[in-house]
Chains A and B, each alone.
Chain A
């Protein structure tokens, strides 16, 4: 048994304009779980890609099983026993499980792929490690938790000694996440080592044997769970003490602003995504919609913002029936929307900051008159947004692509908040942005709520939901399992509801 399964020694990697890894050293021993913690942009992904052979380090070495190696690519790393389970699954959806697992390493008979042999091997592996799967199922038909299993089996099929897992629990319910952590523990008992990348402090403390914290490309802390705490870890990640939970006053809800009755909405494939939804949101309160992604959240947000029309049911905003309203009609009613995928829906990367600041209101006065854009007014407005919402940018004329994720999100928030709004729909508002910006956005959302805005918060981050919401609705399989007051809610209860389990 090797002393060191996988290690980075003084690894440095430079990209144009950013030093992603600065003299980073980590060490993974057999049978242990190493948690790699850090914000977006801290260098975790880069480091892991170096270990996996995707990138060559500018200086420093990679050590695999006590041997210093020079990796030529992922297949080199794979052949040496390094397996990677990606955050965004690297699976071919229309192909079968067995095909996905053996891709690149196919058993052959007479020059053609031997699927029978492949199937046997997959079944054998899944039984050995307790990861049940149907080899002939199409990956696109599998639920997310099962897809992750396929990813793990891919690595095990190639005789991995090390599993690198990149943010594995983001798409799982709390129970599924716990189950996964259990599986990982069992895997380590066979001598497997695991590098576990995450930003979830709670999980780190629950599962890790060793913890390494990265910040701005450097290692800023090495510790173990017994020696630290969530706030300690957060402080290391950010470099200053961080308020993990923003102060929240008691809500004083007013009139009903959003009312949804027996709403049925179909997804892109024509299947039912929302099945008879009933709920309401009042002015001055935050209704958090909890649930693992894929249970209808996207369709819910699209239905309320007018991008998708319900097949059955009624939706009222501020007393007006707007079930089949267009996005523009709904916005005019005083509805603001922070989209969950800012790159795809929130900004046009090539447009300037100024153009993005009026992306969905260019047709209104004062930004345009009779079809002609008023560029000076637009520029002035953009500058106001940038100043008030702390968007770090040299000026408003640079393309939005030059902004960081957090600043893009602040720009979007600033854009949406610049009118008087009655209803705010925030979908995954702090996904993928640094802790400082998260703090900022949470504060602004609470501010809106205190001003009397009704807020519908849709988030897969349970901590965010628990921290901000006044009431919590749990969405599972297109239905609302229950709506609970925040003070009566805890992770346990919500987690069960998220998995569809009612008592």
Chain B
């Protein structure tokens, strides 16, 4: 049992190491020092309580984003719409957050989160339903919905929901009410705890419930699932809705906890990182947590790395791409570690664009 955990962890771990190594080469190409850079990165992410808080805060939307991809993956769907779902969740949560006042936090906060969650569920469910009814491939639809969401949230934050206080010209909503702001429990942001709870819930649902059994059946063998009486279309639609909801919660937590509002142009790219996280975690909901913490650490430390070593923070994106590459093509690592190929471990989706 522990042997298989070792095997599962080995590949992502080595992928990270290799990514960092190649990242070091890139740092050198910019005439900077890898050791300075990476040290700054570590300190910026773990050095003190503030740093740890930053890491946890960065990791929170990543967990949600990773879950959004992982959950859909279990049903055999590739959710690339995390970015759009996150934006939708963020803006609607902020909308409820600033738009209503006079409510106690115990009602307002959950309400705002719920608004974001439902909006995201609709956004994701739309793609899932289209796939179930028309066969439209969720990759294209979710990517398109990302752009639509981008435009929609831009418009909302620049027009009806714009912050017209003071001299503000930027496209953003007003600050959310205090009653809708996510508190911190001591040093730990509640948002992070929510994320961890979501991950645990996902795992429980997938492994221990009949719904989870249906989801996994559809993901492994759609035909056999149909023959077992499972309503495949319903699973597709509902899984994408759940995925959308998860990503949206990530956005909602950003609006209500970290930023205190929705601002267009912030949170760009967060959704795509969910893909890396999910793949690093091999689509295991529990594995998403350490993966998100790792990437969150890098992001928290990135500005310090820029300050101390003069390295552009986009290096983190490059390292992520490299890690993703090595996780997706584990055969390289296997060769390095002299591990044997186990085809059941390979993540597979493969299907065309139309109905199967």
A–B touching in complex (CB under 8 Å): yes
Contact B227 A346 (CB under 8 A): yes
Chain A residues near B208: list those with CB within 8 A.
Answer: 372-373, 375
Q: A348-B217, A349-B221, A399-B344 are in contact. Are A360 and B228 (CB under 8 A)?
A: yes
The answer to whether A362 has its CB under 8 Å from any CB of chain B is yes
Chain A residues near B221: list those with CB within 8 A.
Answer: 344, 347-350
The answer to whether B223 has its CB under 8 Å from any CB of chain A is yes
Chain A residues near B164: list those with CB within 8 A.
Answer: none
Contact B224 A346 (CB under 8 A): yes
Tell me the smallest distance from the CB of A298 to a CB of chain B, in Å. Answer: 12
Residue of B with least CB distance to A337:
B227
Residue of A with least CB distance to B212:
A373
Contact pattern, A 308-320, Cβ under 8 Å of B = 1, otherwise 0: 0000000000000
For B210, give its contact among A305, A328, A368 (CB under 8 Å). A368
The answer to whether B334 has its CB under 8 Å from any CB of chain A is no
Contact B344 A373 (CB under 8 A): no
Contact B229 A339 (CB under 8 A): no
For B229, give its contact among A326, A349, A350, A371 (CB under 8 Å). A326
The answer to whether B155 has its CB under 8 Å from any CB of chain A is no
Tell me the smallest distance from the CB of B146 to a CB of chain A, in Å. Answer: 31
The answer to whether B308 has its CB under 8 Å from any CB of chain A is no
Chain A residues near B226: list those with CB within 8 A.
Answer: 307, 327, 345
Chain B residues near A55: list those with CB within 8 A.
Answer: none
Q: A331-B229, A350-B344 are in contact. Are A345 and B210 (CB under 8 A)?
A: no
CA gap between A355 and B213 in the complex, in Å: 9
Residue of A with least CB distance to B209:
A371
Chain B residues near A363: list those with CB within 8 A.
Answer: 210
Point out which of A307, A328, A345 has the most chain B C-beta atoms below 10 A from its C-beta: A345
The answer to whether A277 has its CB under 8 Å from any CB of chain B is no
CA gap between A347 and B221 in the complex, in Å: 8
The answer to whether A359 has its CB under 8 Å from any CB of chain B is yes
Point out which of B209, B220, B227 has the most chain A C-beta atoms below 10 A from its C-beta: B227
CA gap between A470 and B17 in the complex, in Å: 68
The answer to whether B147 has its CB under 8 Å from any CB of chain A is no
Residue of A with least CB distance to B344:
A350
The answer to whether B353 has its CB under 8 Å from any CB of chain A is no
Residue of A with least CB distance to B221:
A348
CA gap between A489 and B224 in the complex, in Å: 36
CA gap between A344 and B356 in the complex, in Å: 13
Point out which of B216, B221, B223, B224 has the most chain A C-beta atoms below 10 A from its C-beta: B224
Contact A372 B220 (CB under 8 A): no
CA gap between A124 and B38 in the complex, in Å: 74
- Main SS of chain B's interface residues? helix
Size class of the B contact interface (CB-based, 8 Å)? 10 to 19
Tell me the smallest distance from the CB of B8 to a CB of chain A, in Å. Answer: 15
Q: A328-B229, A331-B229, A372-B208 are in contact. Are A362 and B224 (CB under 8 A)?
A: no
Tell me the smallest distance from the CB of A475 to a CB of chain B, in Å. Answer: 21
Residue of A with least CB distance to B211:
A371
Tell me the smallest distance from the CB of B89 to a CB of chain A, in Å. Answer: 26
Contact B210 A373 (CB under 8 A): yes
CB under 8 Å from chain B, chain A span 282-310: 305-307
Point out which of A305, A348, A355 has the most chain B C-beta atoms below 10 A from its C-beta: A348
CB under 8 Å from chain A, chain B span 202-219: 208-211, 213, 216-217
For A327, give its contact among B210, B213, B229, B344 (CB under 8 Å). B229
For A344, give its contact among B209, B220, B223, B344 (CB under 8 Å). B223
Contact B220 A348 (CB under 8 A): yes
Chain B residues near A362: list those with CB within 8 A.
Answer: 210, 213, 228
CA gap between A360 and B230 in the complex, in Å: 8
Contact A348 B224 (CB under 8 A): yes
Chain B residues near A349: list those with CB within 8 A.
Answer: 220-221
Tell me the smallest distance from the CB of B233 to a CB of chain A, in Å. Answer: 12
Contact pattern, A 323-366, Cβ under 8 Å of B = 1, otherwise 0: 00011100100000101000011111111000100011011000
Point out which of B213, B216, B226, B229 has the most chain A C-beta atoms below 10 A from its C-beta: B229
CA gap between A61 and B215 in the complex, in Å: 50
Tell me the smallest distance from the CB of B129 to a CB of chain A, in Å. Answer: 19
Chain B residues near A339: list those with CB within 8 A.
Answer: 227
Residue of A with least CB distance to B218:
A348
Chain A residues near B223: list those with CB within 8 A.
Answer: 344-345
Residue of B with least CB distance to A341:
B223
Contact A360 B210 (CB under 8 A): no
Contact B229 A344 (CB under 8 A): no
Tell me the smallest distance from the CB of A392 to a CB of chain B, in Å. Answer: 21
Chain B residues near A326: list those with CB within 8 A.
Answer: 229
Contact B224 A347 (CB under 8 A): yes
Chain A residues near B213: list those with CB within 8 A.
Answer: 355, 362, 373
Residue of A with least CB distance to B204:
A372
Residue of A with least CB distance to B355:
A268
For A372, give its contact among B209, B217, B225 (CB under 8 Å). B209
CA gap between A349 and B344 in the complex, in Å: 10
Contact A360 B229 (CB under 8 A): yes
Contact A327 B227 (CB under 8 A): yes
Residue of A with least CB distance to B231:
A326
CA gap between A471 and B226 in the complex, in Å: 31
CA gap between A346 and B223 in the complex, in Å: 9
CA gap between A264 and B259 in the complex, in Å: 62
CB under 8 Å from chain A, chain B span 172-215: 208-211, 213
Contact B227 A360 (CB under 8 A): yes
CB under 8 Å from chain B, chain A span 357-416: 359-360, 362-363, 368, 371-373, 375, 399, 401
Chain B residues near A360: list those with CB within 8 A.
Answer: 227-229
CA gap between A371 and B224 in the complex, in Å: 20
CA gap between A351 and B217 in the complex, in Å: 8
CA gap between A209 and B24 in the complex, in Å: 71
For A350, give its contact among B209, B220, B225, B227 (CB under 8 Å). B220
Chain B residues near A344: list those with CB within 8 A.
Answer: 221, 223-224
CA gap between A348 and B226 in the complex, in Å: 11
Chain A residues near B216: list those with CB within 8 A.
Answer: 351
Tell me the smallest distance from the CB of B292 to a CB of chain A, in Å. Answer: 26
Chain B residues near A348: list those with CB within 8 A.
Answer: 217, 220-221, 224-225
For A373, give its contact among B209, B217, B227, B228 (CB under 8 Å). B209
Contact B227 A345 (CB under 8 A): yes
Tell me the smallest distance from the CB of B240 to a CB of chain A, in Å. Answer: 20
Chain A residues near B217: list those with CB within 8 A.
Answer: 348, 351, 359
Could you show 26 A-B contacts with beta carbons less than 8 Å apart? Answer: A306-B229, A307-B226, A307-B227, A344-B224, A345-B223, A347-B221, A347-B224, A348-B217, A348-B224, A348-B225, A349-B221, A350-B220, A350-B344, A351-B217, A351-B220, A355-B213, A360-B228, A360-B229, A362-B210, A362-B228, A363-B210, A368-B209, A372-B210, A373-B208, A373-B213, A375-B208
Q: Which 6 A-B pairs have the closest CB atoms?
A: A360-B228, A327-B229, A328-B229, A345-B227, A348-B221, A348-B220
Residues of A within 8 A of B (CB): 305-307, 326-328, 331, 337, 339, 344-351, 355, 359-360, 362-363, 368, 371-373, 375, 399, 401
9 more contacts with CB within 8 A, not counting A328-B229, A362-B210, A362-B228, are A307-B226, A326-B229, A339-B227, A344-B223, A344-B224, A348-B225, A349-B221, A368-B210, A401-B344
Residues of B within 8 A of A (CB): 208-211, 213, 216-217, 220-221, 223-229, 344
